[in-house]
Amino acid sequence: MPAIDSQRRYLQAKHAAAVRWGKPNQTETARDLAAAKLADYIARVVDAAPPLTPEQRDRLALLLRPVDAA
C-alpha cells in the first residue's frame, strides 16, 4: 500500500470526525478528501506514463474541465 502524505491523512481524519459527530460539513470534507485522492492518483499515472504531446495533454485536461453544453 502506498504511503499517504500528511495532508491526505489530515483530510481523512477530518472527514471521519465530521461523519462520526454528524457535522454539517460532511459534504465539504468528502469533496476535499476525494480531490486529494484524485490528485494522488493522477500524479502516479502521469509519473508512470511516457511524455505526452501537447495535444494529448490538452485532450486529457478537458476531462477535468468539462465544457457546459448549454
> What total of structural domains would you count in the chain?
1
Q: Establish if 69 belongs to a structural domain.
A: no
Measuring CA to CA, which residue among 28, 33, 42 is closest to residue 10?
A: 33
Q: Establish if 45 belongs to a structural domain.
A: yes
pLDDT of residue 65: 86
Q: Domain containing 53: what range? A: 6-64
Rounded to two decimals, what is the model's pTM? 0.77
Q: Establish if 39 belongs to a structural domain.
A: yes
Pair 40, 12: CB distance under 8 Å: no
Q: Establish if 53 belongs to a structural domain.
A: yes
Q: What is the mean pLDDT of the chain?
A: 90
pLDDT single digits (tens) 34-53: 999 999 998 999 899 999 99
What does the block give as the cell for 68?
Answer: 457546459
22-29: long-range pairs with CB below 8 Å, 24+ = none
pLDDT of residue 69: 63
What percentage of the chain reaches a pLDDT higher than 90? 70
